[in-house]
Structure 1
Amino acid sequence: MKERTSFIRPMVAGDVERSADIWLRASKIAHGFLGYELLEDQHQLMKDVYLLQAENWVIVSDDQVVGFVGFIDNFIGGLFVDPDFQGQGYGLKLLQHAHDLKKHLELQVYERNQKAVKLYQRYGFEIIQRDETDDDGLPFAQLTMVLNS
């Protein structure tokens, strides 16, 4: 089996549609408890607002974007890997890249998204706060996590 090569680069305009689609597909799995209607509404916001406001980096494997990480300052607003490519180390590579760029990192993650919580903890993030509701006031606990180094 051929080993896949990958690299990380800044997101360009041509990556926005693919990145938003990765976000939606991954979110339907990781955040399905929010309901698909809400996720579909946020999908458009991802394309039109969020991906344009953040500093975004994509990971490319075999000439296709397979994931991305976006921040505002030192806050990771999102890290998503295409579900077809999860479990292959791309999320850890994106975290390492973010860490190399920013050193101190902070993020929020839904407590119910245990796969992501465990990934962040494995990388060294610590939980510093738990909120009973998310930023929209929905009754889904969010964890604030930090990585200092």
Structure 2
Amino acid sequence: MNIRAGRGPQEHEALIEIWRSAVRATHDFLDESDFARIESHLASDYFPAVTLTVAEKNGRRVGFAGVRDGALEMLFVSDAVRGEGVGSALLAEVIENQAVSKVDVNEQNSGALGFYLSRGFAQIGRSELDGDGRPYPTIHMALQTAP
């Protein structure tokens, strides 16, 4: 596996495909209109707001992370390779090289919650609404121990 810096807008469509695959597999609680709204803002608003890190396997993009100010704002892995260590490798990379120490997780995404708990994060708060004011409760987490 190769972990590298994002290459900008020329790879945004490939990252959106990874996002679609990951969200369809793990966010069954997400309303279809919210899915479409988020997707429509990825390339224009969300990707430019973070430092992107991309994971490749056999020359193919399979996952990515987005970091801003020590917070992991996004980590998505293609469903085809979920469980193969891509998310763990991305998380380790951004903790070590981008000083990630916090993450917010949708409460309904129990897989992601367990993933971060098993890698040294602990719950430090909870919000009834997500960052966009939508009714998706969010768990606020901070890194307590090195993974």
TM-score (norm 2): 0.91
CA contact (8 A) 2:94 2:100 kept: no
Distance in 1, matches of 2:93 and 2:6, equals: 14
3-state SS, counterpart of residue 11 of structure 2: helix
Of stretches 59-68 and 10-19 in structure 1, the one that deviates more from structure 2 is 10-19
1:60-111 CA-to-partner distances (Å, cap 9, x unmatched) read 0001100000011101110000011100010000010011113351111001
Aligned to 1:29, the other structure's residue is in SS state: helix
Unaligned runs of 5+ in 2: none
Which stretches of structure 1, 4 residues or longer, exceed 3 Å deviation after superposition? none
Unaligned runs of 5+ in 1: 1-5
Given candidates 99, 116, 125, the residue that maps to 2:112 is: 116
Supply the distance in 2 between the matched residues of 1:144 and 1:91 (Cα, whole angstroms): 19
- TM score, norm. by length of structure 1: 0.90
Question: Which of residues 68, 72, 78 in structure 2 aligns to 1:76?
Answer: 72
**How many residues are paired up?**
144
Q: In 2 relative to 1, CA 109–26 (structure 1 residues): closer, same or farther, beyond 3 Å?
A: same
Identity of aligned residues (%): 28
The residue aligned with 2:58 is 62
Partner amino acid, structure 2, of 1:62: N
Decide whether the 8 Å contact of 2:4 with 2:54 is kept in 1.
Answer: yes
| Residue 41 of structure 2 is aligned to residue 42 of structure 1 | no
